[in-house]
């Protein structure tokens, strides 16, 4: 250590590094290597940036191509519709000619349907004829209901998401004879009608109205066309998954929330956590309430509340919502005979499909599904008398306004099918007598 004094300040002696040529070479090589690594690092970063840019561009292109495909599909549908309209307008007796959608408007104003005031009003009526509308028209009518009930504003629903959600729901219904997208539409339209008829908007929260409508739309999603009894007896995947407890209804519900789990289809994406919880719980309760195995229990619970009904009581409102979705689910017979009767054929077709399969698989067959035992009249009378009329009469206690347009048509339908049964019986008697007479002939 050098000494430090005034005459001899701190002295630092620099000693020339004595490097050998080999050491110098090694240092230089290390330095070169480090510099190369730095350069590579920078190059990788550049490459990364370039790749990100290219991926973004590719994603954009895929999106654009996807949109093009959608547009082409839409155009195809429009052309088919246009052909249908041309066909129907050339035949004035065809009820389709009376369609109130303006296709001209649709094609020339960004393919938007225009609903006439008459249609808008008619849509609120329980006698609405569902058979006059094509699936994409029904989508548009459902969309209208969400706007009309102010649900789009209340839940802050993105209009494109609403369209996409409805499309996705439609695609998730199978082409069963009965449990199909048209049935979903009918149930929802009846709920929409009841909301007006019973002035539910004045009595219930917007949240409840949204839950009721959405539960209706989702209530039979991905129905396989075979009921719970079949699922349980055949030990299907659904029955195993849900331990024989309302396998179908649990499945419809799970599919509903699977659809909503896609951000592109989540109409409730903009609600807060607490509201989402209430929506989810509300929809689950309502879809599960559509299992007819729980009919007695749910009706009884509502009956106990109806005479002292209190809209401030959560339990009362919950029971009402359950009974409302049940009413709508089995409300075909409330509609005029020309609308409701084809549904009976659809239901029997689905029942027969099941009973045929049950026979083939050696499973028990319910008599009401057996094509050898049931007729349209016998199928209907018991159901209308013992299920529909008692339930709708109970609801009419709370909403007398449904008496004329819902309960009365049910009584008329009962009388119609009782007459039909008498005719069937007379016909059977005649056939029996004829067969006997033939036998007696020598
Ligand atoms: Zn249903």
CA of 329 to the centre of ligand 1 (A): 5
- The answer to whether 241 is a known ligand-binding residue is no
- The answer to whether 220 is a known ligand-binding residue is yes
pLDDT score recorded for residue 229: 98
- Span 73-98, average pLDDT: 54
Q: What is the pLDDT of residues 31-69, one digit of tens each?
A: 888 878 877 777 778 888 878 777 777 777 766 666 655
pLDDT > 80? residue 376: yes
- The answer to whether 329 is a known ligand-binding residue is yes
> Number of C-alpha atoms within 13 angstroms, CB side, residue 402?
31
pLDDT score recorded for residue 27: 82
CA of 180 to the centre of ligand 1 (A): 9
What percentage of residues in the chain have a pLDDT greater than 70? 83
pLDDT > 50? residue 98: no
Per annotation, catalytic residue among 33, 108, 144, 179:
179
pLDDT bucket at 336, cuts 50 / 70 / 90: very high
pLDDT > 50? residue 97: no
Contacts of 88 (CB under 8 A, 6+ apart): 94, 96, 97, 99
pLDDT score recorded for residue 32: 81
Q: What is the pLDDT of residues 166-188, one digit of tens each?
A: 999 999 999 999 999 999 999 99
pLDDT > 90? residue 111: no
pLDDT > 80? residue 142: yes
- Span 294-305, average pLDDT: 98
Q: Is 179 a residue of the active site?
A: yes
Instruction: Give me 107's structure tokens.
Output: 């094609």
- The answer to whether 180 is a known ligand-binding residue is yes
pLDDT > 90? residue 387: yes
3-class SS string, 274-285: HHHHHHHHHHHH
CA of 225 to the centre of ligand 1 (A): 11
pLDDT bucket at 103, cuts 50 / 70 / 90: very low
> CA dist 178 to 245, 281, 353, 367, 424, Å?
22, 27, 11, 19, 24
pLDDT score recorded for residue 25: 84
> Number of C-alpha atoms within 13 angstroms, CB side, residue 212?
32
pLDDT score recorded for residue 365: 96
- Span 260-287, average pLDDT: 98
- Span 348-355, average pLDDT: 97
What is the average pLDDT score of the chain? Answer: 88
CA of 184 to the centre of ligand 1 (A): 7
CA of 187 to the centre of ligand 1 (A): 7
> Where along the chain do its domains lie?
132-421
pLDDT > 80? residue 320: yes
Contact 380, 333 (CB under 8 A): yes
- The answer to whether 383 is a known ligand-binding residue is no
Higher-confidence residue of 432 and 113: namely: 432
Residues, CB within 5 angstroms of ligand 1 (ion): 220, 329
Q: How far apart are CA 89 and CA 12, in angstroms?
A: 108
Topology of the domain covering 132-421: Catalytic domain of cyclic nucleotide phosphodiesterase 4b2b (1.10.1300)
């Amino acid at each position: 250590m050098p000494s430090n004094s005034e005459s001899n300040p701190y002295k630092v002696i620099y000693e020339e590094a004595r490097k050998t040529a080999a050491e110098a070479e090694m240092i230089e090589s290390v330095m070169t290597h480090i510099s190369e690594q730095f350069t590579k690092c920078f190059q990788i970063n550049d490459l990364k940036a370039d790749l990100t840019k290219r991926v973004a561009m590719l994603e954009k292109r895929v999106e654009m191509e996807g949109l093009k495909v959608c547009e082409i599909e839409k155009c195809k549908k429009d052309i088919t519709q246009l052909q249908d309209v041309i066909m129907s307008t050339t035949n004035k007796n065809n009820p389709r000619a009376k369609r109130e959608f303006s296709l001209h408007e649709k094609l020339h104003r960004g393919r938007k349907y225009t609903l006439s005031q008459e249609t808008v009003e008619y849509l609120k009526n329980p006698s609405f004829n569902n058979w006059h509308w094509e699936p994409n028209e029904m989508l548009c009518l459902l969309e209208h209901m969400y706007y009309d009930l102010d649900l789009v504003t209340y839940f802050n629903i993105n209009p494109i998401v609403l369209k996409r959600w409805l499309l996705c729901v439609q695609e998730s219904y199978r082409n069963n004879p009965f449990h199909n997208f048209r049935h979903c539409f009918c149930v929802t339209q009846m709920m929409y009608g009841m909301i007006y008829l019973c002035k539910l908007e004045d009595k219930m929260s917007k949240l409840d109205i949204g839950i009721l409508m959405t539960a209706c739309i989702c209530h039979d999603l991905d129905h396989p066309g075979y009921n719970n009894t079949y699922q349980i007896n055949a030990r299907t995947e659904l029955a195993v998954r849900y331990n024989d407890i309302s396998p179908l209804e649990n499945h419809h519900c799970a599919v509903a929330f699977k659809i909503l789990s896609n951000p592109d289809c989540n109409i409730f994406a903009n609600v807060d956590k607490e509201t989402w919880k209430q929506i989810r719980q509300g929809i689950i309760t309502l879809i599960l309430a559509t299992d007819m195995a729980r009919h007695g229990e749910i009706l009884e619970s509502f009956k106990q509340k109806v005479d002292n009904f209190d809209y401030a009581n959560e339990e009362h409102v919950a029971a009402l919502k359950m009974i409302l979705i049940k009413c709508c689910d089995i409300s075909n017979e409330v509609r005029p005979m020309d609308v409701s009767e084809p549904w009976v054929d659809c239901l029997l077709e689905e029942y027969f499909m099941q009973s045929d399969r049950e026979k083939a698989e050696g499973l028990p067959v319910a008599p009401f599904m057996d094509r050898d035992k049931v007729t349209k009249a016998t199928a209907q009378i018991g159901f209308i008398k013992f299920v529909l009329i008692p339930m709708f009469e109970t609801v009419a206690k709370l909403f007398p306004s449904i008496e004329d347009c819902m309960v009365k048509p049910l009584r008329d339908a009962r009388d119609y099918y009782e007459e039909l049964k008498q005719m069937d019986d007379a016909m059977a008697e005649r056939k029996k007598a004829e067969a006997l007479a033939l036998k007696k002939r020598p």
